[in-house]
Chains A and B, each alone.
Chain A
Amino acid sequence: MTGAARTRFTRGATAAIPLLFVAIVPLQRGIDRYRASMSAPEELWVGSGTLLKTISMGYDALLADIYWTRAVQYYGAHFETGSSQFKELYPLMSIALTLDPRLTVVPRGGSILLSEPNPIGAGRPDQAVELLQQAIVGKHDDWQLYASLGFVYYWYMKDYGHASQVYLEGSQYPGAPIWMKGMAARIAELGGSRDTSVMVWSQIYQTATEPRARENAKQHLMALHAQADIEELQKIVDNYSGHIPRVTSLRDLVEDRVLPDVPVDPAGYAYVLNSSGVVTVNPASSVRMDILDAGKHDKAAE
């Protein structure tokens, strides 16, 4: 047969290739395991933004995009594993911002991811502040940066003094919306009142472009609304509990014609009265009251 040896060789090689690939899979898994146990600074490639900018030879904008993309991917990957403190998130974002100070998505989107407590974000509003301040240095007349910074101070750090200052400063730049001045005044006056918080979150909800940010704002608004409802209901329950027989559920209040119907939360679930006499959100509801605990953290960084 013509080329018998050649055919044998070709057949042998073609058969061996998939087998070898099969052997590669467990090897790769092993490598992934070992690499995960190593520290991640290689995510940064080169640790200094200024240095990168110097050597990037005009491709800094491209590199900035790459770094921002990697920051988002880093966030996504670590979010899935649920383990992380997102240690490299701030450095990645800071480098991206150094490379391209006009890439505003970095401080605006990044500040939320940095500020939100674990497991959603890094829980480091202080880093968010640094990032936003770095951004403002590079682009001091962008009102949106001030709005973001004011929000971080207000919500996550409960630092009403700085929050008010920042909103006021931002309000004077071109394009700043009218509500910024008002916000500054309200915060200075009322501090951490719920109405102010609702105002702030409403603004975020209306102006956010990223779906995750919008969703987050909506959750906060729903929780705030529920919080107000609960306070009202609690007052009613507490007033009524002087009567006999004891109120065991909100249904009772309806039967006694104190309430027209069992009130529902913004997600449509009825509020419930627990065994200790405290009004709470229905366990089945999608309204999450725990997110209002955000910012109750110590302002000081870890």
Chain B
Amino acid sequence: MMAGTVAINTFREAVRDRVLYNLIFFALAMMAAAVFVGQITIGIERLVIINLGLTAISLIGTVMAIFIGVGLVYKEMEKRTLYSLLAKPVRRWEFLVGKFAGLVLTLAVNTALMTLGLAAALFYVTRGFSRADTSILVAVYFILLELALVTALALFFSCFPTPMLSTLLTLGLFVAGQFSTALREYGHVAHNRALELLLGAIYYLLPNFHNFNAIGAVAHGDAIPGALILHNTLYAVLYITVVLLGASAIFANMDLK
């Protein structure tokens, strides 16, 4: 499919962009640090390594998703590589989906590499894996869902020729989505029905990134219910579809100066 072609090329671009390698090295350094830190805080090495490691994977992935994502369409518009591309038999929405898939693929590969690093660090510290450690994979999967959602949002804003603003808005939505639960709680506590309804509506509209945070539970060795995995997957798929549809509708009607 045309989108697949665009996706592979996007992946290739990301891999050849040297910024990526710096981030990976940073991540690996974090893993090494986690090992040392684990030796300072006695008795909770496993906890600390999982916490730190997963948090690092999540944060670095998010930074990449935002900063590369916001350039996905914008760079092609600015450099006008888009002109010759769109003259080919490829629809504009196929182009968007391809860019999205390419970056998600990049992030997935990156995350997988970092997870390997985490597994190595964990093995080093605990000298073996326990059953409970498989839930770490679930936490990583959730992180991937989260990154895909951030990518979709970044791609949406990437359609506009305002890179700084796009970055800020994407970042803003990400932060708002982390605290949307707290926002709704404020509505409950504030004893104002209208505010409560408003904040409740905003709660459902905002992308709820908190859904995907299982780092604490996994660090403590809790199992994650399969139903939650299913729900989160569906949520991510639906929300991403909404964002990509919106981006496609806007992009399809844009004059490319």
Binding site for B on A (CB under 8 A): 6, 9-10, 13-14, 16-17, 20-21, 23-25, 27-28, 30-31, 34-35, 37-48, 50-51, 54-55, 70, 73, 76-77, 79-80
Contact = CB atoms under 8 A, between A and B. Distances in A.
A42 B216 contact: yes
B170 interface: no
16 contacts: A20-B242, A27-B231, A30-B227, A30-B231, A31-B235, A35-B228, A37-B225, A39-B220, A40-B216, A42-B214, A42-B216, A42-B217, A47-B216, A54-B37, A55-B52, A80-B189
Most chain B CB atoms below 10 A, which of A21, A41, A55? A41
Given A24-B204, A41-B220, A73 B185 contact: yes
Contacts of A28: 203-204, 208, 211, 235
Interface string B170-208: 000000000000100110110000000000000111001
Contacts, number: 116
Given A30-B231, A47-B51, A21 B205 contact: yes
A24 B235 contact: yes
Given A24-B235, A31-B211, A73-B185, A46 B51 contact: yes
Contacts of B44: 47-48
Given A31-B211, A73-B182, A80-B189, A9 B252 contact: yes
B174 to A, nearest CB: 16
Contacts of A30: 227, 231
Contact of B41 (A6, A34, A35, A50): A50
Contacts of A27: 231, 234-235, 238
The 3 closest A-B pairs by CB, nearest first: A42-B216, A13-B249, A34-B228
B153 to A, nearest CB: 14
Nearest to B91: A9
Contacts of B29: none
B155 to A, nearest CB: 15
B224 interface: yes
Contacts of A21: 204-205, 242
Chain A contact surface mostly:
helix
Contacts of A20: 238, 241-242, 245
Contact of B225 (A14, A34, A44): A34
Contact of B215 (A13, A39, A42): A42
B12 to A, nearest CB: 29
B135 to A, nearest CB: 11
Contacts of A45: 51, 55, 215-216
Nearest to A78: B185
A44 B227 CA distance: 24
B217 A38 contact: yes
B213 interface: yes
Given A17-B245, A76-B188, 17 more contacts: A10-B253, A20-B245, A27-B234, A28-B211, A31-B211, A34-B227, A34-B228, A35-B211, A38-B224, A42-B213, A42-B217, A45-B51, A46-B48, A51-B40, A73-B182, A73-B185, A76-B185
Nearest to B234: A27
A41 B232 contact: no
Contacts of B216: 40-45, 47
A9 B92 CA distance: 11
